[in-house]
Amino acid sequence: MSVTGLEFAGQEAAAGESALDADAAKIQGRSQWQLTWRRLRRDKVAMAALAVIAVILLLAIFAPVFVAITHHPPNIAYPNTGEDAAGNPVGPGTAGFWLGTDGTGRDLFIRILYGARISLFVGFVTTAIGAVAGVIVGLMAGYFGGVIDTVLARFTDAVLAFPYVVLALALAVVLGPSLTVIIGVIAFFSWAAIARIVRGQTLSIKEKEYIEAARSLGAGPFRIMIFDILPNLLAPVLVLATLYIPTAIVFEATLSYLGLGIQPPTASWGDILADAQNFYSTSWWYVVFPALALLITTLAFNLLGDGVRDAMDPRTERVLAAGKARRRRRGKHQVLADGQAELSHVAPYVPPAEGS
């Protein structure tokens, strides 16, 4: 490798590069989020789930509108129209009750809508608190290491090791059931898993050269955590959070079902289901509709979460499986060509001109 040869090759390649640049100016850089959204849009299941969630959200937000239409506020019982002669709930469509009434003659549809408000609120708020707390704890533990890591990571393990339903019940009993206590209890159990994932990611990211570059520029630990590490964590945290919302919703329903959550007369899916048990033999709608609401909501969030995970990481199973199937269909010589194409993905190896 002679020096003059080097310079000559350099000028040539530089000229080629600037010619390319003229075209390149027109190309718009796509962010990771744009790419994710493009992939997510192609996922029919995830898009259907997203649509379902949007409908549920709209129904919950506009619940008062339905009250205005039906003239049935959520907590008002209608003993005359809402109960039959035996005092049992009336069925769907009867006397202006779209989905029938509940055990005390209240409009079941309206109560499910108001239950959705509670469920979604608890789901989003606890997940948000859990995600923020988990990211903070995981980042601190992973970045600082040492004693801070030992303390935080062991605390995280301890929280994860708890039989959380038992502890949640105990806390709800001691502190008295209320929306605030419910949110606090659920959030307390949702940050730990996120913290553990974030800690692991942080441990690997902090060894990257760009972290060292930031340090050499004089960036402090908090600036590095926020500007350099956090953007790399958003993808896994977003996926985890999407999958945590249904967990939190079910958790709230469980606590309410056991009578330790939202207190009557405020509507909550768990509470409605608990009351419905007494009527399951006579009034099927009383059990089926709130249960369906819970099922559809959690299913939609889970499917969306899976879709987001696949879209964020193009190397997930589904994509790989699809690729394999396509290759199988294309026949043998194509497979060979594919194999070569795969080889070219491997970063070119530049033999080090080491002097040893």
Q: Which of 157, 223, 225 is CA-nearest to residue 193?
A: 157
Q: Which residues share a beta bridge with 83?
A: 89
Residue 353 near another protein by CB under 8 A: yes
On the CB side of 178, CA atoms within 13 Å amount to 5
Residue 15 near another protein by CB under 8 A: no
- Give the binding-site size for another protein (rule: CB under 8 A): 45
SS3 letters for 241-307? HHHHHHHHHHHHHHHHHCCCCCCCCCCCHHHHHHHHHHHCCCCHHHHHHHHHHHHHHHHHHHHHHHH
Within its chain, how far is the Cα of 158 from the centroid? 23
The distance in angstroms from the start CA to the end CA of the chain is: 16
Out of 73, 176, 220, 314, the only residue in the binding site for another protein (CB under 8 A) is 220
Residue 161 near another protein by CB under 8 A: no
For residue 116, CA distances in Å to 58, 113, 137, 199 come to: 10, 5, 31, 34
Out of 116, 129, 214, 240, the only residue in the binding site for another protein (CB under 8 A) is 214
Residue 6 near another protein by CB under 8 A: yes
Out of 208, 324, 326, 330, the only residue in the binding site for another protein (CB under 8 A) is 208
Structure-token pair, residue 147: 């004693």
- Helix, strand and coil in the chain, % to nearest 5: 75, 0, 25
Element (H, E) at 40: helix 32-42
Residue with tokens 């506009």: 62
What is the closest distance, in whole angstroms, from the C-beta atom of residue 281 to another protein in the complex?
A: 57
Residue 340 near another protein by CB under 8 A: no
Element (H, E) at 180: helix 179-205
Q: Which is nearer to another protein, 342 or 354 (CB)?
A: 354
Alpha-carbon gap, residue 293 to 297, rounded angstroms: 6
Residue 157 near another protein by CB under 8 A: no
Which residues ranging from 17 to 46 are in contact with another protein (CB under 8 A)?
17, 21, 24-25, 27-32
Q: Which is nearer to another protein, 5 or 331 (CB)?
A: 5
Residue 291 near another protein by CB under 8 A: no
Residue 215 near another protein by CB under 8 A: yes
Out of 213, 321, 325, 336, the only residue in the binding site for another protein (CB under 8 A) is 213
Residue 231 near another protein by CB under 8 A: yes
Q: Which is nearer to another protein, 86 or 346 (CB)?
A: 346
Q: Which is nearer to another protein, 34 or 278 (CB)?
A: 34
Out of 52, 136, 169, 219, the only residue in the binding site for another protein (CB under 8 A) is 219
Binding residues for another protein, rule: CB under 8 A, are 1-3, 5-7, 9-10, 12-14, 17, 21, 24-25, 27-32, 208-210, 212-220, 223, 227-228, 231-232, 348, 350, 352-356
